[in-house]
Amino acid sequence: MPEKDDGELVKRVLAGDDTAYAVLVERYRARVFSTAARFARNGSELDDLAQDIFIRIWKGLKTYRADAPFEHWLMTVTVRTCYDFLRKHRKRREREVLVDEMPTVQMSGDGMFSGDSPEEKQRRQREAWEVVQGLMEKLNEKEQLVITLMELEEKSVKEVASLTGWSESNVKVRAYRARNKMREIFEKQGGER
């Protein structure tokens, strides 16, 4: 069972076993990178952010209490590090123009673009992604965090509350306000509903 195994690995790391930490990193690498990718704009930022996350995890291992699953603790550290990253880089990111590749978007098969060529579908996806990115950049860090976790990563209110340390009511209010803010900005920019 991974939870018991994780606890044993943490004990070994705290006793000075570096290979045990390498096992933990390898076990959770994909999960950490997947979450961090929602906050980074390019591969370089993603690498830096993931490195910061794993350093914080390593330094904070002594605070891990085995009364909860290790993965939960790890993801809390991951989300909080991503939030700190957003705050730290906010001003620089506001000045930059988004030029990175759009992530791959899975089409739902609902026929929305059924008559379009593959190139047209890709163009529309890119345009939609750029609109979402532009709207997200106008949100503050907490708003970006709650929208990313709830809408892009499809986490529940309870999961977001657990990861951020906010109450469930606070998560709901923040998400509601962030969505409304995005809608207002979109409409002010001449977007259609």
Residue 14 located in a structural domain: yes
Percentage of the chain modeled with pLDDT above 70? 82
Domain-located, residue 65: yes
| Cα–Cα distance for residue pair 161/79, rounded to 1 Å | 11
Token pair recorded at residue 169: 């009511």
- pLDDT, residue 131, reads 80
| H-state helical runs in 38-166 | 43-60, 70-95, 118-137, 141-147, 157-164
- Per-residue buried b or exposed e for 107-122, using 16+ beta carbons within 10 Å of the residue's own CB: eeeeeebeeeeeeebe
Instruction: Map tokens 């977007």 to a residue.
Output: 191
Number of Cβ within 10 Å of residue 86's Cβ equals 19
pLDDT of residue 4: 58
Would you state the pLDDT for residue 96?
52
Range of the domain at 50: 1-100
Q: What is the pLDDT of residue 127?
A: 77
Q: Using CA atoms of 154, 165, 87, 149 in order, give the dihedral in degrees to the nearest 10.
A: 0
Count structural domains, the chain.
1
CA atoms within 13 A on the CB side of 161: 10
Phi and psi at 155, nearest 5°, equal: -85, 150
In a domain, 158, yes or no: no
Stretches where the chain sits below pLDDT 50 are 1, 97-108, 110-113, 193
The CATH number of whichever domain residue 10 belongs to comes to 1.10.1740.10
Task: State residue 145's pLDDT score.
Answer: 87
Please indicate, yes or no, if residue 142 is contained in any of the structural domains: no
Is residue 27 one of the residues assigned to a domain?
yes
Whether 88 is in a domain gets the answer yes
| Predicted local distance difference test score (pLDDT) of residue 116 | 63
* Residue-wise pLDDT tens digits, 99-122: 444 444 444 454 444 556 777 777
Question: What pLDDT sits at residue 40?
Answer: 84
